[in-house]
Amino acid sequence: MGALIQEGLGTFFVEFLIEQTGVEEGFLLNKAYMYNNIQFIGKKRNPETRGMSMANICWEDSYVGQIRKLVGHKRLIHPSVRAIIQDEKGRVLFINRRGHSRWGMPAGSMELDESIFETLKREVKEETGIDVINAKLIAIYSGPDKSIVNEFGDEYQMFEFLFLVDEWKGTILKETDESNNAEFFSLDKIPQGSNQFWDKHHKEVIEDLRNFKGQLILK
């Protein structure tokens, strides 16, 4: 493992890769060396662009995409954010994502060199066009019951940070590079998600929003 750490990979990440891939360190070293040389693993972004939009980065170059190249379809813990954005009537914003024909709240995966709040700001900006000013964390979802296999056969265990956006600026766009519609829905009439898993999760999110009294909800 020492050789791998010398290649620029942290101890926790090395242990994670060995556990997830089940391969010997020598093979993993070759893989890690290859990815380091083409600036995938451990890639550093310019500090001047930290927290800015990453919409032009393809999935293969994203953090999750990098890990998928090493572990295939095995289950990954998936750090992500979800944003509750309400209008003056208390309705919640849902977007229709391009290529998926499904409704969902603004959400997405954390990338390297981001804080979780920067992830929130980036995803909301990419998917709605507005800028988050203030938000409060109201729930974290991380249990094994939050596991799902996507349409590509990739398995994830959710590690989601749910934020209630208290203040934002700008105009909500109907269409962005990542979405083709955006509408506010009443809490009693939220739109249907892409499958039963997301339908159930959206309903749980709305229920937790109703029940939130200032204390973080952990699940």
Classify residue 137: in a domain, yes or no.
yes
Give the SS3 label for residue 217: strand
Give the SS3 label for residue 42: coil
pTM of this prediction? 0.74
* Alpha carbons within 13 A on the beta-carbon side of 155: 9
Classify residue 198: in a domain, yes or no.
yes
Predicted local confidence at residue 15, as pLDDT: 54
Classify residue 159: in a domain, yes or no.
yes
- Alpha-helical runs (H) found in 94-195: 116-128
Looking up residue 111, the CATH number of its domain turns out to be 3.90.79.10
Classify residue 121: in a domain, yes or no.
yes
8-state DSSP, 184: E
pLDDT digits (tens, 9 = 90+) for 153-193: 999 999 999 999 999 999 999 999 888 999 999 999 999 88
Count of domains for the chain = 1
Whether 6 has a pLDDT exceeding 60, the answer reads: no
Classify residue 202: in a domain, yes or no.
yes
Taking a C-beta distance cutoff of 8 angstroms, is the pair 131, 172 a contact?
A: no
Percent of the chain at pLDDT exceeding 70: 74
Instruction: Report the alpha-carbon distance of residue 3 to residue 34 in Å, rounded.
Output: 14
**Which residues form the domain of 178?**
74-218
- Alpha-helical runs (H) found in the chain: 2-6, 11-21, 25-37, 63-71, 116-128, 196-211
pLDDT digits (tens, 9 = 90+) for 10-55: 454 445 444 544 544 444 444 433 333 323 333 333 333 344 445 5
Classify residue 44: in a domain, yes or no.
no
Classify residue 24: in a domain, yes or no.
no
Whether 139 has a pLDDT exceeding 90, the answer reads: yes
Give the SS3 label for residue 209: helix
Kindly write down the DSSP assignment for every residue of 152-173, as one continuous string: TS-EEEEEEEEEEEEEEES---
Q: Which of 135, 112, 98 is nearest to 54 (CA)?
A: 112
Instruction: Report the alpha-carbon distance of residue 54 to residue 122 in Å, rounded.
Output: 8
Classify residue 144: in a domain, yes or no.
yes
